[in-house]
Amino acid sequence: MSVPPRAVQLNEANAFLKEHPEVLYVDLLIADMNGVVRGKRIERTSLHKVYEKGINLPASLFALDINGSTVESTGLGLDIGDADRICYPIPDTLCNEPWQKRPTAQLLMTMHELEGEPFFADPREVLRQVVTKFDELGLTICAAFELEFYLIDQENVNGRPQPPRSPISGKRPHSTQVYLIDDLDEYVDCLQDILEGAKEQGIPADAIVKESAPAQFEVNLHHVADPIKACDYAVLLKRLIKNIAYDHEMDTTFMAKPYPGQAGNGLHVHISILDKEGKNIFASEDPEQNAALRHAIGGVLETLPAQMAFLCPNVNSYRRFGAQFYVPNSPCWGLDNRTVAIRVPTGSSDAVRIEHRVAGADANPYLLMASVLAGVHHGLTNKIEPGAPVEGNSYEQNEQSLPNNLRDALRELDDSEVMAKYIDPKYIDIFVACKESELEEFEHSISDLEYNWYLHTV
């Protein structure tokens, strides 16, 4: 991928600064392996230099664990002298940050080698490599995310989260009423500011719904015919939600399972595919008879065990699974069935698509999308049949068979010959090294429950 012409990018910068003379600073953003946004803040006078020459950041940015420490076993830290690479702006991502007291803009970046080639360990580049395989077939991916999150109080109780008090009633919610409009009203100012902030930033968020736990909500993003841009929107939406909530003296969490006994946070992705004429190849009055749809589903289901480490990348991710919370634990599919891993909505023949329902909100959107699209392409090119769709409750018909812990998921990914054809094995090694490092630290910690069970009893 070549770097966009400097003149084109400078025109973008000039137009923005002319339209927004009030802007004082610009945040330069790049999402790491965990989807955590990192970068630099510059003064507006330095923006042209960024467009002309980029900015330097260390390659080790993509070898950070969840705590922001470099995992040296990746080979991207001291082994290469913690050397810099160069980051360039992503076109059409320069916009205002509506939550800032001092007028500030933001700009997404992507990392390149010093010679100009994309840096292989940038998750955005990992996804781009998969997307090029569809380009070669003359196919265009349409994609959209549904992102779940909790509003939580800024004050924890013994280190654990609690729902925030309603700005209207002053009470903490306890309702598990899904789609309850009254709960939207309790936090209406914050939620409306999220939608309005998204509009200001060009993020296509078109709805917020109340989910099935206290102060849990879901934002729906409208589909776009660019899966990389769809992921950009998801990354920026998370940052927007967090900062708007701070403005309303609340916090947020996208942790997969913040509360025992309550629903976890999911990140569903909807995917359809357009041919060269712009027609949805999944479109059908009878989706079960559409060969392209079946094959795409077949490929996703076959690779689902190997996808799990990207879909559920943290120890906590696997606590989210359970039949009562509509989180599938086996590779299955169905028509308009929310108990399966791959749901095919049947509302309109033109809008037939795949809804992938496994990932948690703690997943990196780029890596989630890359792994799912790898399965889609694998299925289309190898004409893999998915088996019969599940009717009714899949939990009663299928035993749990997907990896149910991070260590097993990492093994599946590391051993997958199919995933290695789509995602650079060097990157898989880096991802596995980072996650194994986190897992080792977790397993060496001693939980409160262990003290309660064993300290005075054995």
Select the highest-mean-pLDDT range: 2-16, 245-259, 342-356: 245-259
Asked if the structure places residue 199 within a domain, the reply is yes
Counted residue by residue, the chain has a size of 458
* Same domain flag for 369 and 251: yes
Predicted confidence at residue 1, as pLDDT, reads 47
CB-based contacts of 290, cutoff 8 Å, min separation 6: 282, 283, 284, 352
| Single-letter code of the amino acid located at 190 | C
Q: d(Cα 281, Cα 297) in Å, to the nearest integer?
A: 13
What percentage of the chain's residues is helix, strand, coil (to nearest 5)?
Answer: 40, 20, 40
Compute the average pLDDT of residues 156-171.
88
Which residue has 């800024």 as its token pair? 154
Report CA 346 to chain centroid distance, whole Å. Answer: 25
In a domain, 431, yes or no: no
Q: How far is CA 230 from CA 94, 187, 289, 318, 366, in A?
A: 16, 27, 29, 25, 9
> CA nearest 119: which of 28, 56, 42?
56
Residue-level pLDDT at 101: 94
User: Does residue 436 fall inside a structural domain?
Assistant: no
| 35 φ/ψ sector (left φ>0, alpha ψ -120 to 50, else beta) | left
Give the separation between CA 433 and CA 62, rounded to whole angstroms. 12
Do 204 and 353 lie in one domain? The reply is: yes
Q: What local confidence, expressed as pLDDT, does residue 210 receive?
A: 86
The verdict on residue 428 lying in a domain is no
Q: Are residues 84 and 156 in the same domain?
A: no
One DSSP character per residue, 208-260 reads EEE-SSTTEEEEEEPPBS-HHHHHHHHHHHHHHHHHHHHHTT-EEE--S--ST
| pLDDT at residue 184 in the model | 76
**In the prediction, which pLDDT does 180 show?**
63
- Please report, for the domain that includes residue 43, its CATH number: 3.10.20.70
Among 27-36, 69-78, 223-232, 342-351, whose mean pLDDT is lowest? 342-351
Model pTM above 0.85: yes
pLDDT at 293 over 80: yes
Give me the half-sphere count of Cα atoms (radius 13 Å) on the Cβ side of residue 183: 24
Residues 81 and 32 in one domain: yes
User: Does 300 map to a domain?
Assistant: yes
122 within a domain of the structure (yes/no):
no
Q: Identify whether the C-beta of residue 116 lies closer than 8 Å to the C-beta of residue 408.
A: no
Which of 163-177, 209-223, 363-377 is most confident?
A: 363-377
- Secondary structure (3-state) at 181: helix
Instruction: At 389, list the tokens.
Output: 């769709």
pLDDT above 70 (res 4): no
Report CA-CA distances (Å) from 444 to 158, 288, 323, 437, 450: 21, 48, 30, 11, 12
As a whole number of angstroms, the distance between CA 270 and CA 300 comes to 13
Please tell me the predicted confidence (pLDDT) of residue 432: 98
User: Tens of pLDDT along 165-217?
Assistant: 988 888 888 766 655 666 778 899 999 999 999 999 999 998 898 887 899 99
Q: pLDDT tens across 341-353, in order?
A: 999 998 888 889 9
pLDDT digits (tens, 9 = 90+) for 70-123: 999 999 999 999 999 999 999 999 999 999 999 999 999 999 999 999 999 999
315: domain CATH number?
3.30.590.10
Rounded Cα gap, residues 139 and 281, in angstroms: 9
Q: Among 2-6, 176-180, 366-370, which range has the highest average pLDDT? A: 366-370
| Choice among 118-122, 322-326, 357-361, 363-367 with the minimum mean pLDDT | 322-326
User: How many beta carbons lie within 10 A of that of residue 5, not counting itself?
Assistant: 9
Residue 35 lies in a domain: yes
Q: What is the pLDDT of residue 213?
A: 87
Residue ranges making up the domain that contains 140: 132-423
Same domain, 295 and 208: yes
Taking the C-alpha atoms of residue 53 and residue 114, their distance in angstroms, rounded to an integer, is 11
Of the residues 117, 145, 175, the one at which a domain ends: 117
Structure tokens at 357: 């329902």
Q: Which of 59, 88, 117 is the last residue of a domain?
A: 117
Residues 180 and 298 both lie in one domain: yes
Burial 354-385, CB ≥16 within 10 A → b, else e? bbbbbbbbbbbbbbbbbbbbbbbbbbbeeebe
Q: Which of 65, 90, 117 is the last residue in one of the domains?
A: 117
Residues 112 and 139 in one domain: no
Give the separation between CA 134 and CA 400, rounded to whole angstroms.
Answer: 32
Span of 39-48, 124-133, 159-168, 323-332 with lowest mean pLDDT? 323-332
Tell me: do 109 and 138 sit in the same domain. no
Beta bridge partners of 56: 86
221 and 158 in a common domain: yes
Based on the fold, state whether residues 106 and 13 are members of the same structural domain: yes
Helix (H) or strand (E) holding 196: helix 188-200
Give me the number of domains the chain comprises: 2
Q: Looking at the domain assignment, is residue 440 inside a domain? A: no
378 and 249 together in one domain:
yes
In the Cβ-directed half-sphere of 314, how many Cα atoms lie within 13 Å?
22
| Mean model confidence pLDDT for the chain | 94
From the centroid of its chain, how far is CA 223? 15
Identify whether residues 304 and 359 lie together within a single domain. Answer: yes
| Inter-residue contact 273 to 281 (CB < 8 Å) | yes
